[in-house]
Amino acid sequence: MHISIQQIVIASLSVFSLLATTAKSSQAFDLKEKDHPEQSLHGNIINEALASTISPGSLKLVVQSCDQAEDADMLFNKNSFKRSMAYIEREQKKVLNAAFEADSSPAARYRTLKHFGIMLRAVQDFYSNSNYVEHEVAKRTNKLGVNRFDPYTIELVEWSKVPTLMQSEPPLGAAEIKKANASEGQEKIGQATYYKIARELALRETARQWDVLATLLKNRYQAKSLTIITALKQASVPDKEPEEID
């Protein structure tokens, strides 16, 4: 059964109540965060969103995979939106396919969590690399007035609408205001900043994507999905890529 990015969004609405280690993008979230300099900002976001949901071993693999995602420095930059959307969908399919044996195979669990981490890198960087936050601020300002709304109420993107927004006027595209770190994104939105809003959205998106994954696993694997989800959350994972395991 083919599951599209549009179906991911639909599923997420019912359950919610994205770098190579040497790659550095001028717009992607900064690799280091002031409060926890030993860990990437992406890793901090994943920890905040999922530490109470999955085991430390699984969490470590997801963070590692997110930080080492190939070509992640090009996600949602100028002229890369279509490729970035395809990147998310491709990794999501890899997650679902690998999960078939995740309840019984440590190698399958490794691959499932690895591709989930890679996908998270993309969805997180959507909020720092694109002008989505700028779009949403402009909409609310036009309706309510300058600083007459709570920027933390900006909703997560509806992924199915991204292609349409790319054709709108003004179009959804590369960021107008850099939001990679607190210094770049210090421009104020009320009591918040563009950086803080982008980070908050990335945090909420990370939590949403886990819920989406659980729903999609239930839809595809039905009765078996409970043991798959439990294994992804609690069972051990290898320390190395499966191909390197003796």
For 192-214, how does the pLDDT look when each residue is reduced to its tens digit (9 = 90+)? 999 999 999 999 999 999 999 99
Q: Is 225 a residue whose pLDDT tops 50?
A: yes
Residue 242 belongs to a domain: no
Residue 83 belongs to a domain: yes
Task: Report the C-alpha gap between 105 and 117 in whole angstroms.
Answer: 19
Residue 81 belongs to a domain: yes
36-52 pLDDT tens trace: 556 799 999 999 999 99
Question: Per-residue confidence at 33, pLDDT binned at 50, 70, 90?
Answer: low
What domain range is 181 assigned to? 5-15+24-233
Residue 246 belongs to a domain: no
Residue 142 belongs to a domain: yes
Q: Is 11 a residue whose pLDDT tops 50?
A: no
Greater model confidence, 224 or 13 = 224
Residue 94 belongs to a domain: yes
Total number of domains in the chain = 1
Q: What Cα–Cα distance (Å) separates residue 227 from each residue in 22, 80, 94, 233, 242?
A: 36, 37, 19, 10, 21
The most distant pair of C-alpha atoms in the chain lies apart, rounded to whole Å, by 63
Residue 112 belongs to a domain: yes
HSE, CB side, 13 Å, CA atoms: give it for residue 73: 10
CB proximity list for 33: less than 8 A, separation 6 or greater: 39, 40, 41, 44
Residue 245 belongs to a domain: no
Q: What is the pLDDT of residue 28?
A: 57
Q: What is the pLDDT of residue 9?
A: 41
| Region 162-170 average pLDDT | 92
The 8-class DSSP code of residue 38 comes to: E
DSSP result, 73-106: GGTTSTT-HHHHHHHHHHHHHHHHHHGGGTTT-H
